[in-house]
């Protein structure tokens, strides 16, 4: 039977917008009239299982796990992706942070894995923390099956992971470096894989990982399904990603809005020498239950954590200079809500899912606007609320504007009670030039383009 939505897929291959998910889902259900009949009898037999997932074609052994996890309704990306992924299509999926992308690719792949077969699926992720987290989520989703999922990542003993690989996993989740290492040792054979996933695909295909990814994905011979997901997938990465896929379907349920509504986003103008004072004031006034402070460098993360300790604040730092066991300890304490403030570099910006993070503070504004989307996406996950505050120097208006253009939203200026920013420092020669310019007769206003309009507004606000 032909599907009305399929016509859109074939001609445009891109389905966007908030309602796309529902449209796709309904159309897919149209194809599956037989499946619907089976579902009706299934729901009569098991009325407690989540029907909305059953409608997408999810089998009972996974529906049972969803009940335990309290997943009642699929998110937009799950609605959009699950039916097509179950049919074996290659998919490039974009959806906002914290909207359940792991289950969107995880459920259909797990369901299509042959439990009697050997290794069939791999998911590559950018950080070790994410490898552990994605493995945990996939394990929870397959808790009512005999499927076996293993994480491989650097920093942990090779022997431990070798032992786990020896237990014949069906699904491996790993960071590229360690996966390559195991491939070279001949203990990880990807030739007969049936499913390949890149989580945080834009990060995985950026210059740092690109070569490794080419190497790893190049090892898979034979027919396989490829699914790439992220919250941010821009032009060049999109083109590059398509090269690894066969006639991919692009599902974008984040087009109109890249960040979640439930995040209250604001910025405070602060010079570098004011930032710590400002951070202390915000922590005191807002009393965030759990908060991440993002810095651009390890040195700043270390320095702030020291100062917070001196001020008796329960904080821990996480960055690439810590040994893996220290990183694991910090993440475990943070997940168990044993620390109030996590001071982090962008190592923790991607994918990390810790419930109830109430505040994200960008102590340093990120250089890359996409990093902003990922950092603030650590809060307001799956419908919760969150606050994101960014410290912006007087000369950083351009960076803020680039972020606003990317997220298509204006970040509001926030006043913090009791905080007054210092005057921006200017060398004496520049001061004189600035004064001269102020006294010069006004020039006629130039014609505004969208970008220059943003810039002008920013200059006025800062």
**Which stretches of the chain bind Mg ion, using CB under 5 A?**
101, 351
| Rounded Cα–Cα distance for residues 277 and 422 (Å) | 11
| Rounded Cα–Cα distance for residues 124 and 220 (Å) | 14
Residue 103 interface partner, choices ligand ADP, Mg ion, none, CB cut-off 5-8 Å depending on type: ligand ADP
Residue 397 interface partner, choices ligand ADP, Mg ion, none, CB cut-off 5-8 Å depending on type: none
Instruction: Work out the number of other CB atoms within 10 angstroms of the CB of residue 430.
Output: 10
| Rounded Cα–Cα distance for residues 425 and 439 (Å) | 20
State in angstroms the smallest separation of the CB of 380 from ligand ADP: 11
Under 8 Å between Cβ of 195 and 120: yes
If 0-12 CB within 10 Å is exposed, 13-18 middle and 19+ buried, where does residue 436 land?
Answer: exposed
User: Could you list the residues that contact ligand ADP (CB under 6 A)?
Assistant: 71, 73-75, 78, 95, 97-103, 137, 351, 353, 381-382
Residue 98 interface partner, choices ligand ADP, Mg ion, none, CB cut-off 5-8 Å depending on type: ligand ADP
3-class DSSP state of 137: helix
**Closer residue to ligand ADP, CB minimum distance, 147 or 220:** 147
State in angstroms the smallest separation of the CB of 100 from ligand ADP: 3
Structure token digits, residue 389 = 């505050």
Residue 105 interface partner, choices ligand ADP, Mg ion, none, CB cut-off 5-8 Å depending on type: none
**Closer residue to ligand ADP, CB minimum distance, 128 or 275:** 128
State in angstroms the smallest separation of the CB of 351 from Mg ion: 4
423: DSSP letter: P
State in angstroms the smallest separation of the CB of 440 from Mg ion: 52
| Rounded Cα–Cα distance for residues 448 and 456 (Å) | 9
Q: What is the DSSP string of 324-369?
A: HHHHHHHHHHHHTT--SEEEE-GGGTSS---TT--EEEESS--SSH
Residue nearest to ligand ADP (CB): 100
> Which segments within 76-135 are labelled E, that is strand?
91-94, 121-124
Dihedral Cα 163, 166, 170, 174, nearest 10 deg: 40
State in angstroms the smallest separation of the CB of 191 from Mg ion: 27
Residue 74 interface partner, choices Mg ion, ligand ADP, none, CB cut-off 5-8 Å depending on type: ligand ADP
Residue 170 interface partner, choices ligand ADP, Mg ion, none, CB cut-off 5-8 Å depending on type: none
**Closer residue to ligand ADP, CB minimum distance, 129 or 274:** 129
State in angstroms the smallest separation of the CB of 58 from ligand ADP: 11
Structure token digits, residue 291 = 């908060």
Distance set, CA 210 to CA 85, 184, 203, 205, 240 (Å)? 25, 18, 9, 5, 10
Distance set, CA 47 to CA 37, 60, 74, 108, 143 (Å)? 15, 11, 17, 22, 20
**Closer residue to ligand ADP, CB minimum distance, 197 or 315:** 197
State in angstroms the smallest separation of the CB of 70 from ligand ADP: 6
Which position has the token pair 């083109």?
239
Under 8 Å between Cβ of 441 and 410: no
State in angstroms the smallest separation of the CB of 86 from ligand ADP: 16
**Closer residue to Mg ion, CB minimum distance, 232 or 396:** 232
Closest CA to 356 of 372, 342, 344, 371: 342
Instruction: Work out the number of other CB atoms within 10 angstroms of the CB of residue 403.
Output: 27
**Closer residue to ligand ADP, CB minimum distance, 71 or 209:** 71
Residue 226 interface partner, choices Mg ion, ligand ADP, none, CB cut-off 5-8 Å depending on type: none
**Closer residue to ligand ADP, CB minimum distance, 100 or 288:** 100
State in angstroms the smallest separation of the CB of 69 from ligand ADP: 6
**Closer residue to ligand ADP, CB minimum distance, 89 or 101:** 101
State in angstroms the smallest separation of the CB of 254 from Mg ion: 13
Residue 99 interface partner, choices Mg ion, ligand ADP, none, CB cut-off 5-8 Å depending on type: ligand ADP
List, in sequence order, every residue forming a beta bridge with 294; answer none if it has no partner: 344, 362
3-class DSSP state of 122: strand
**Closer residue to ligand ADP, CB minimum distance, 78 or 401:** 78
Residue 90 interface partner, choices ligand ADP, Mg ion, none, CB cut-off 5-8 Å depending on type: none
**Closer residue to Mg ion, CB minimum distance, 101 or 194:** 101
Residue 80 interface partner, choices Mg ion, ligand ADP, none, CB cut-off 5-8 Å depending on type: none
């Amino acid at each position: 039977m032909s599907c009305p939505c399929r016509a859109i897929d074939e001609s445009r291959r891109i389905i966007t917008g908030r309602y796309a998910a529902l449209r796709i889902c309904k159309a897919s259900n149209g194809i599956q009239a037989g499946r619907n009949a089976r579902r009706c009898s299934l729901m009569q037999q098991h009325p407690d299982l989540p029907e909305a997932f059953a409608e997408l074609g999810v089998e009972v052994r996974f529906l049972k796990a969803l009940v335990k996890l309290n997943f009642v309704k699929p998110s937009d990306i799950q609605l959009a992706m699950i039916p097509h992924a179950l049919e074996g299509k290659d998919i490039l999926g974009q959806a906002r942070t914290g909207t359940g992308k792991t289950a969107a690719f995880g459920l259909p792949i797990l369901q299509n894995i042959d439990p009697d077969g050997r290794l069939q699926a791999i998911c590559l992720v950018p950080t070790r923390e994410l490898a552990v987290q994605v493995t945990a989520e996939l394990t929870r989703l397959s808790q009512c099956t005999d499927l076996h999922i293993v994480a491989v990542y650097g920093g942990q003993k090779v022997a431990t992971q070798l032992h786990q690989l020896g237990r014949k996993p069906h699904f491996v989740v790993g960071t590229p470096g360690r996966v390559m290492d195991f491939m070279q040792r001949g203990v990880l054979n990807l030739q007969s894989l049936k499913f390949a996933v890149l989580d945080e695909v834009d990060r995985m295909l950026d210059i740092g990982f690109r070569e490794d990814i080419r190497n790893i994905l190049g090892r898979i011979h034979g027919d396989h399904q490829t699914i790439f997901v992220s919250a941010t997938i821009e032009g060049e990465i999109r083109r590059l990603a398509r090269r690894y896929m066969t006639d991919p379907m692009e599902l974008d349920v984040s087009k109109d809005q890249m960040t979640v509504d439930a995040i209250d986003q604001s910025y405070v103008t602060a010079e570098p020498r004011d930032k710590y004072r400002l951070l202390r004031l915000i922590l005191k006034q807002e009393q965030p239950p759990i908060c991440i402070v993002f810095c651009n460098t390890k040195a700043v993360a270390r320095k702030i954590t020291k100062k917070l300790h001196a001020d008796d604040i329960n904080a821990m730092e996480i960055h690439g200079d810590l040994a893996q066991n220290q990183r694991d300890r910090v993440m475990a304490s943070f997940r168990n809500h044993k620390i109030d403030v996590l001071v982090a570099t962008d190592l923790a910006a991607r994918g990390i899912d810790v419930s109830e993070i109430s505040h994200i503070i960008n102590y340093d504004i990120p250089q890359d606007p996409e990093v902003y989307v990922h950092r603030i996406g650590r809060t307001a996950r799956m419908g919760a609320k969150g606050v994101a505050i960014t410290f912006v120097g007087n000369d950083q208006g351009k960076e803020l504007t680039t972020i606003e253009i990317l997220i298509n939203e204006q970040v509001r200026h926030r006043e913090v009670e009791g905080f007054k920013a210092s005057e921006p420092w200017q060398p004496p020669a520049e001061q004189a030039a600035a004064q001269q310019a102020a006294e010069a007769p006004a020039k006629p206003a130039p014609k505004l383009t969208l970008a220059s309009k943003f810039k002008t507004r920013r200059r006025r606000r800062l």
